[in-house]
A = this chain, B = another copy of it.
Amino acid sequence: MESFETALASAASATEEALDSLIPSGDGPEAQVLEAMRYSALAGGKRLRPFLVMTSADLFGVARSSSLRVAAAVEMVHTYSLIHDDLPSMDNDDLRRGKPTCHIVYDEATAILAGDGLLTLAFEVLAEVDTHSLGEIRAELVLELSAAIGAQGMVGGQMLDLLAADHKLDMPEITRLQRMKTGALISYACQAGAILGKASETQRHMLTAYSHDLGLAFQIIDDLLDVEGNAAEMGKRAGKDQDAGKATFVSLLGPERAREQAEILVAQAIKHLEVFAGKGDLLRNLAKYVLTRRK
């Protein structure tokens, strides 16, 4: 796994650099919103989604200069979703990635605008000619992203999550919620690599299947860490789902069966990669890493 850890760290630092260069500093008083965008986007993190974009794109020999821009756009979207989800009227979180959340450092209005700005900038980055020479590809990247993160994807998932505080979800409901709230962007990360690489139907289908299983496994482990972890290790408040009385995979299945379920999903995810033979090793190792991560 050593080469995997190296690849993950190297993708994270490339993403950090790309975000740093793509989010301008600006001058004038309105630069406060850019500063808030930079604060949240450059706060570190595992950068799993950018890693997925770049690693999927590598399967098809896509130039890193293309895939890194898409990776940064995906991370901007992820960051926007965290900023808005952390707001007082949503999940009301004051700690994220080990640092005070955007609305704590600035204020609510600035945090809302910083999220809006990051979402908008993500689309700008995708549509720029530097991302791909073909307009068809750029438009497809935009189309699939917007479908994944809109009211019938990520935004709808957050709506579901907020409403779920009022009643206990069952397994199919939680699975659907997580597919929308976290799974859709994870799937897009893999799909974006396939779009850039003009993958065949089969290849694309297999990557999508991989990303569905990976996304659910990732969420189950997240729920386990939420129960077992502590804030210092996780960089965010632990036990918050439990405190909120929310149903999670762990509250429904218990920790042991939840972990088993995650293992089954990871095995399935890896199986979908057969079509890529040896080229799929980094994605295989990522799936295994999801099971062992500590934060």
Q: Which residues of A contact B (CB under 8 A)?
A: 24, 26, 28-30, 32-34, 37, 84, 87, 89-90, 107-110, 112-117, 119-121, 123-124, 126-129, 134-140, 142-143, 145-147, 149-152, 155-160, 162-164, 176, 180
Contact = CB atoms under 8 A, between A and B. Distances in A.
Contacts of A109: 87, 89-90, 162
Contacts of A139: 127, 129, 135, 138-139, 142
A151 B120 contact: yes
A140 B142 CA distance: 11
Nearest to A157: B30
A252 to B, nearest CB: 18
Contacts of A176: 28
17 contacts: A26-B151, A26-B156, A28-B176, A29-B159, A30-B152, A89-B112, A114-B151, A117-B150, A117-B151, A119-B119, A119-B120, A127-B142, A127-B146, A129-B139, A135-B135, A135-B137, A142-B142
A126 B89 CA distance: 31
A149 B89 CA distance: 24
A119 B84 CA distance: 14
A26 B135 contact: no
A33 B153 CA distance: 11
Contact of A127 (B119, B120, B143): B143
A124 B143 contact: yes
Contacts of A30: 151-152, 156-157, 159-160, 163, 180
Contacts of A180: 30
Given A30-B159, A121-B146, A124-B142, 11 more contacts: A24-B152, A32-B163, A33-B155, A89-B109, A114-B151, A124-B143, A124-B147, A127-B140, A129-B139, A135-B135, A138-B139
A113 B146 contact: no
What 7 pairs between A and B have smallest CB-CB spacing?
A135-B136, A135-B135, A124-B146, A89-B108, A117-B151, A127-B143, A30-B156
Given A24-B152, A135-B139, A146-B124, A163 B29 contact: yes
Nearest to A26: B152
A90 B112 contact: yes
